Each structure stands twice: as C-alpha cells, then as structure tokens.
Structure 1
C-alpha cells in the first residue's frame, strides 16, 4: 500500500503489471451454451474444431472463364489463345462437366471450379466473339483467382482457441462452418456501489448540497458494454460499518466489486479501510500516478476477487475505468496481459502545458478535416460529467513531458 497522503503514487505501467501477476485469468466456473448469432462479445470456453472444410469447394474470386493455366501460358494481347467454351457454371451447384486442355467454362464470382480447371481468367482480359469460343489475352498462373476448398478452415483443425473474445467476424466464420451453438464462459458478475452522504438516487429529488448518482449507473453501463453481468448495488452512506457490511453481503455472488467514492484519504473516505477489513491480501494499490484518477484503489479479497475503489468525480472514475478496470476485465475474461486498449492517431490542435508530476489524460474531441484527424483538447474539472459527454477520447501527457505542441501527432484512447 502506498503512502496514505498519496506522496508515492504507483505509475500506471506498474499497476497493470501487478494486475497481471496477481490475477491469473479466467476461473474454471463451468460454461454456457449459446446460439452463435448471440455470442458476440462472449469468451470461448473450449477450442473450436472445424467439422468441415470451408468454403468446402474450389471457387472463383472473379467473373470470367475457368480453364487450365497451361493452356494459356503463351497468351498475350497481340497473340491471344483461343479456347472452346464447353459449359457454364451455375451458382449453388457443382459443375457436371470436366475441362480438358484447350477448353474453358464461363464462371461467376463464387462459382465452383469444374474438374480439370486450375485457374480463372478475368472476363476483362478476354474477348468473346461467338457463343462457343473465347480469346484469352494474357497468361494466368495455376490457382490464380481461385480460393481453395480449405482456405478458410481445414476439416479437423482448431479454428479458435479457448479464451477468445468473439467479434462479429468470428461469428461469421463459425456460422459458415455450420456451428449453430458455442460453449462460452459465463459472464463476469460485477456489483457496483456508489457512496457518499451527499449522493441520492437518479430518480430522487436533489436538495441543495446533494447530487444524483452519476458514477454508479455509468459504471454499470460500462461493465455491461464490456461483457459483464453488472448490477447496481445502491448508494452507501459514509460509514465504515455499512460499507463493510455491503461488501461482505455481495462478495460470494460477485466476481468483482466496484465502489465509487470514498477512495481518497479524507475523514469520511472508508473504502480502503472496508476492503482491508475483509482480510489479506486487502489493498494492493492505493493511489495511481495519473490525472484525473489518482485516488484509485485496487484490492483483492481472501477468495481472490478484485475489489476496486473508484474516484468519486465522474471524469476521474471514467478515466480510472478505461485505464485500470477495462485492462483488468481483459485479464479476468481471457487471461491475456492487461493492456490499455488500442489508440488512434490524430493531430493535436492546440498547445497544452503539463507539469503536474503525473501522467495526465486530456479529454479531446475528434474531427476529420481535409483528410486529417484532429484532436482538440477540452478543458474542465474532473467533477464535470459534460467534459466526458463532449469528448471522443483521451490523450496521454506523460509525467516526463512538459506539454504538447500544436501540430504534434498524438495517440488517442477512444472513450467508446
């Protein structure tokens, strides 16, 4: 645990390395069978073995003529090779004829190659002046413009390994193999609490000095988007016993718990103490060298469940989620190394000074202009949710850098 006054903040890179060492990856907690079409975002629980070859037959990638490559090896625009047309390939059926040397067949894109054919010449490179003959104006190599029968998948081969997070293109390939259902890991069960005597429910009147809960619903939505079965545990008062009781009540039924607020070092900030009271290892990190997001807690229960104290300011909470929670989810769901998600490159539009001594994450708005992607920094305090709703991403300003000059190419971490 770092200094309680946040004098010794842990750099983000060390936090992610600690997460990798501490949390081993997916728990073996059974599996679910789901329809392949509903499996996007889910994580495979078992290897997928191809039951057949895909596409299953040799097919053309272009409209043209199927032929034997050796028949046209001397073809050129000035000395075309003339072939006899002996048939036409119909879509959805295997051809019932075989090609010999000196013969060709009309074939559409996606059509099955006839027996004997080993290449396809594009129609644009031919000239047909009669129904039963065609001139070929260039040579083709064997297998040119042809997809082999097992180009996408070989029968009996492992197509996907366990712990793969399924994207739409994975779903497409699996359905192409005829796999209507898949074995996936259960969704991580996440519980989110908000805390603070000043916080009231979103549907409650907010009296002067009170605020409606922003972080709780926002974090539940983020966890749901990232594949978790997330539930809102409600709002906890600034009392150590109540925070501790709430954690113990949901611990057995949660794979991870997030508490928004109470993560700093004030007199009424009880999150760290409540996590520590659950038993070792307790607090792993208290204070991260990022701005916003400094008062973030990473802890672990005796049972090995992650416990996260999130900053109370909305922007700080969202930045902490993107930089810490999302990489942790990647580790828990797939076993892969925790890493900050992929970035996009953009041109910074305004000079910006740093100097806080921490890595700063600047909210930016992205726009396309004259073929360039531009990132314009947005100003605002971390307690303002509007600085997030107006932003498209974050740009990191390392602690060692005094600022970013206008025109600099930067890496933008998307908020979506």
Structure 2
C-alpha cells in the first residue's frame, strides 16, 4: 500500500460519517435503572409540570404575605391556624386574610396562600392561633408549580449520556424506560508475530500484547461493547479469516498493526478484498497516526479500521477517528477541554496535524500544559499525559506561553 493520497483528520471524519449515516445506529429500550451510561436517542419532553402543585420549601405556616407586614419579635402578628396539611395530602381549604395553615417541607400550599413563614419564626399562642415574628414577601419559601420543569420543556437532550441525575429527572416525569442508542459492538484484532499474552515472559524478539487491552479499555470507557479481542500472527490468510469471522457479528472491526508498508503488512489488501466498498481512507495527515486505513462493508454493515501498531498512535487514532464518529453520529456534545499555557516551543509537522500529548500543571493560579515527549511505541508516554493538543497542519508550531486547547484523554 502506498500512502500517497492521505486525508486530513477532518476529511477522514467527514468521509466516515457520510458512509455510516443511518447505517450503524440502532436504538433499544432499556429500563430506567438499566440505562445509566447509555446515550439518549431522543429528547425527553415533559408532559406535565414538576412540581405539579405549589409546595413549601420549609416546615412552616402558609400565609398571605401581606398579613405579616411589620411583624417583629417585639410586635408579632397573630394568625388563626385553620388547618394542618399532611405530606402527600391535598390542600383543599382556601385561606383568607388573618388565617394560616401549617405545611411540612414539600407539602402542598393551600389556595389563597402566597408565602410560607419558617416554623422557627412562629410560636403557638393558643390552641388555634400562631404568633408570627418575621415578615415574608410574596413567594417566599414557595416552590411554584412547574418551577423545576415546565410542561412541554425539553428536559434532557438527545445525545446526553445518562447519569444518576438524568435517571432522577426521568423518574420525576413518570418515565420508567429510556430509548437509547445501542452501543457499537466491536472486535479488536491485534496483529504481529512478536506478540505474546501479558501473563507470559517474552522471549528475545517478542513483546507483550498491549493494543488489544488498551483499545478494549478505551472502547469500554466510551460505552462501547467489546465482543472479542484476538491476537493474530502475521499470516495474511488467517488474518483475513479472522476479519471475516468478526464481520459477521461486529459493527466495527479494529485491526491494530499491519497498516503500513512493510513486507507483512496486509491490512489494506484484506480490507479492500472483504469490504464491499473497499478502503476509503488510505492514510492520515496526522502525526502520529499516518498508517491508518478504513473501509466499509455494506453486506455485513461493518466498519473496518486499520490502526497503527504503535500503542500511542493506535489509541490516539482510535480516539480522534472512531470514537469521534460514534459521538458525532449519536449527537453527543464535544469532548471536554480546557485552555492552558504551553510551557515550551513546539514544532509542527509540515502538511500534517500534530497530536501532542501534554501534562497539566498549575503554576501561580494558572494552568500550564507541559509537552510529554516519547516515541509512539512507548505506552508510558500516555500514562504520563493528562490530555493532548492539536497543532494544525498549516501551522509551523507553537511558541512558549501560547494559549492552547487541551483535550482530556
């Protein structure tokens, strides 16, 4: 394979999104308590106000606020207590000037009342009257109907990752099931004659498999389902068979290694052969990550992605391309980032976007981004980093103290 017609990361994303649009997205209905961590597939719109009635924010006495004007410890206002509201019971009796009703926190405010005096500022005077020692303004200590959620309001947007607070909000609306995007099901194939399992001691020339573990964990971090991880020797026919088998059950097949131009690098030829659409990405204008391939098979509806074999490059390309496309198709918000001051000059790569790992440091009440240098084959480069910055392909580099956007990893 000749990596002559490389794509920018933006072009590669656009190509992938256009090919996968409406093809790899499925939805499923999950019980509310089983939906945490999934991505909401449609807006949640309230069919009713929350709360459904005016309720008290404190334990106290519901009053007409004007009745309390001028009250103080030396000159209290005396009101007749005409009712007491129990939690969960409706307040049906309307109060009139000179009257009050006891309400607990969360209790329904009776008709006619427009404020609540905290119980700490009241005292029973006799069996039917209460002394009020502090004035309250209109609406004081009252949670209005619909103050939390209005009827017809979009409460949770499509693309939201469901957290405990979203589950609570849906429960408040009487929703017991959520329609979510079904996570992509992924098979990860790590290739190389030199690879051995982590539990073994490598012989001279061998290394422990890293990529099937790091990419699996990375996929799971973003809510995707990893069906299987496979370590495959550099045998083109056996690799092809493993890819075809994975295509039958997977939405995405990741092949790590074999995507460059070495004698045993067969990933591009295999993707061209097994994918009905062949390869549509033949390299990225990205450092690290140039030897990246992608193809799509319409028959099995599978995305095939050939990633670099070096662990750092593989993880970065997986994040910048595959995970980015998943988030884009499911309407998830942009990745979390912050702005920081770069601590040293950095050179760019002519014609390539540079993905530079950085460590975040707080100095003098300011966040600084310190470049983390290391070869793309060294996984500890990633462990020392908090995030990455992107240097545009048209930019020569960055100057020390320049403000950069740091994306978390």
Q: 1:246 aligns with which of 221, 242, 263?
A: 242
Q: 2:344 aligns with which of 351, 356, 372?
A: 351
Q: 2:316 aligns with which of 313, 319, 332?
A: 319
CA contact (8 A) 1:395 1:412 kept: yes
Distance 2:378 2:397 in 1: 23
TM-score, scaled to structure 1: 0.83
* 1:160-211 deviations in Å (ceiling 9; x for gaps): 5666542332111122234344344433211110011111222333111111
Change (3 A) 1:94 1:256: same
1:274 aligned to 2:246? Answer: no
* 1:265-291 deviations in Å (ceiling 9; x for gaps): 222211111111124422111222222
Deviation at 1:7, TM superposition (A): 4.5
Q: 1:13 aligns with which of 4, 7, 10?
A: 10
Deviation at 1:292, TM superposition (A): 1.7
Structure 2 counterpart of 1:174: 170
CA contact (8 A) 1:53 1:155 kept: yes
Q: 1:360 aligns with which of 336, 354, 363?
A: 354
Change (3 A) 1:161 1:402: closer
Change (3 A) 1:326 1:63: farther
Unaligned runs of 5+ in 1: none
3-state SS in 2 of match to 1:293: coil
Matches of residues 260-299 of structure 1 in structure 2 within 5 Å? 260-299=256-295
Structure 2 counterpart of 1:384: 378
CA contact (8 A) 2:253 2:304 kept: yes
CA contact (8 A) 1:46 1:183 kept: yes
How many residues align structurally?
A: 402
Distance 2:76 2:137 in 1: 9
Distance 1:404 1:159 in 2: 42
Change (3 A) 1:28 1:271: closer
Structure 1 counterpart of 2:114: 118
Distance 2:375 2:271 in 1: 28
Structure 1 counterpart of 2:395: 401
3-state SS in 2 of match to 1:174: helix
* 1:373-407 deviations in Å (ceiling 9; x for gaps): 33222111111100111211112222333333443
Distance 1:47 1:167 in 2: 15
Distance 2:41 2:389 in 1: 35
Change (3 A) 1:99 1:411: farther
Deviation at 1:59, TM superposition (A): 2.4
1:84 aligned to 2:82? Answer: no
Structure 1 counterpart of 2:223: 227
Distance 1:157 1:138 in 2: 31
CA contact (8 A) 1:322 1:340 kept: no
3-state SS in 2 of match to 1:319: helix
TM-score, scaled to structure 2: 0.84
Matches of residues 206-221 of structure 1 in structure 2 within 5 Å? 206-221=202-217
Distance 1:108 1:375 in 2: 52
Q: 1:37 aligns with which of 23, 30, 33?
A: 33
CA contact (8 A) 1:76 1:138 kept: no
Distance 2:80 2:263 in 1: 89
Q: 1:186 aligns with which of 182, 185, 188?
A: 182
Distance 1:97 1:407 in 2: 68
3-state SS in 1 of match to 2:39: coil
Structure 1 counterpart of 2:131: 133
Deviation at 1:67, TM superposition (A): 3.2
Change (3 A) 1:128 1:76: closer
Distance 1:147 1:138 in 2: 14
Change (3 A) 1:346 1:67: farther
